[in-house]
Amino acid sequence: MKALQLGILSVSGFFQKRIAIPIAKSPLVDIAAIASRSEEKAKNAAREYGIPKAYGSYEALLSDDNVEAVYIPLPNHLHAQFIKQAADAGKHIICEKPIALNAKEAAESIAYAHQKGVKVMEAFMYRFHPQWQHARELIRMKEIGKVQLVQCIFAYNNTDPSNIRNQAKAGGGAILDIGCYAVSSSRFLIGAEPKRVVSLTHYDEEFKTDTLSTGILDFGDSRAEYTIGTQTFPYQRVNVHGSSGVISIEIPFNTPADVETRVSVTNSVGTREVLLAPEDQYILEFEAFAKAIKEDSEVPTPPSDAIANMKVLDALFKSSQENKWINIE
C-alpha cells in the first residue's frame, strides 16, 4: 500500500510531543506538509521533523494537490470550521477530539464533509491500543460478568492562562478536553449509549473554564461515573466493575509507547495482571485511518460515534447549569 500523504494543520505542541516523531516511523503514512499562521514556525517544524513542505497559511496547505488527507490539532473552537475547509479542498480528515464544541456543530460539519465525498474520523487514539482492545474482549467474554459500573479518574494540573485549555473562547476546560475521554471510554466498554446524565462542575473565576467535574451516566442497567480535573494532581485510571469481577486499566489514556501496559483482572479465580507489549497508540490510530482512506472503507471510529459523544458532553454541561438529570436526545 502506498503511504497516505498527510498534511498537518498547525504546529501544535501536541503534534510535536505526541505525533511527529512516531508517525515518521510508519510505512503507511508520510507527513507531506505542515502549515502554521507563521511561515517561519512552519519552516522550523518542517526542518526539525523532516517534512518536505511548509506553508504560512492553512489555506495554502489545503491547496496542495499532493496532500490526500489532513490532521487537525487546532484549538477546539476551530475544528468544525477547518473540517469544512478541508472538505472543500477534497481532503480526508482526522480531527483531534472533541470534534466540535457541541453536537449540532459536529453533525453539521460531518454532514458537510460527507456531501463533499471525504471521510472524517475523530482522533480518539486510546481505542486502538491493545490494552483497550483486550479489556473490551474480556468484557465480551463475561470475564467479570455483567458490567455494572465504569469508573474513570483523569486529571492534570495546568494553571497557565496562555494555554488554550484554560481559554473559554477556544473551547477550553475539563469536560471538552478530558471529559470527552471519560464519556467515550465508558460508551466503548459498555457498548451502549447513556439514557441520561447528571454532573456537578466547578468553574475557575479567572479562566471561566470548568476545572473540576464529576458526572454520572445512566445506561439503564449499568452506570458510568467520572471525576476530571485540570488543576488537580495528575492521575488517571479506569476501573470496570461487573457482577463477578473487576478490570483495571493502569494508564488508560496517556499510555507510554516504550513500556509494557498492564490490565488487572480480578474474579472468582483470583487476580491476574495481563502484560501487553509496548505499542504506540498514535501510530496504530493513523495507520488505521490511512488504510480506510486507501481501501475506501469506513473509518474505524465512525463519525456517528463523534456526534453521539458530543450529545453526552452537551447534556453534562446542561446538567451542571440546571442542576438536574438531563435526558440524552
Residue range 302-315, pLDDT digits in tens: 999 999 999 999 99
The string of pLDDT tens digits covering residues 63-110 is 999 999 999 999 999 999 999 999 999 999 999 999 999 999 999 999
The string of pLDDT tens digits covering residues 281-328 is 999 999 999 999 999 999 999 999 999 999 999 999 999 999 999 999
3-state secondary structure of 50: coil
| Average pLDDT in the chain | 97
- For the chain, which residues make up each domain, given as ranges? 4-124, 126-282+310-327
Cα→Cα distances 300→125, 149, 286, 306, Å = 11, 26, 11, 12
Q: Which fold has domain 126-282+310-327?
A: Dihydrodipicolinate Reductase; domain 2 (3.30.360)
Confidence of residue 329 (pLDDT cuts 50, 70, 90): confident
Q: What is the pTM of this model?
A: 0.96
Residue 258 has what DSSP assignment? T
Confidence of residue 206 (pLDDT cuts 50, 70, 90): very high
HEC string of 166-205 equals HCHHHCCCHHHHHHHHHHHHHHHHHCCCCCEEEEEEEECC
For every residue of 91-148, DSSP letters joined together read: -EEEEPSSSSSSHHHHHHHHHHHHHTT--EEE--GGGGSHHHHHHHHHHHTTTTSSEE
- CA 186 – CA 25 distance, rounded (Å): 31
The string of pLDDT tens digits covering residues 153-195 is 999 999 999 999 999 999 999 999 999 999 999 999 999 999 9
Domain 4-124 class, CATH top level: alpha beta
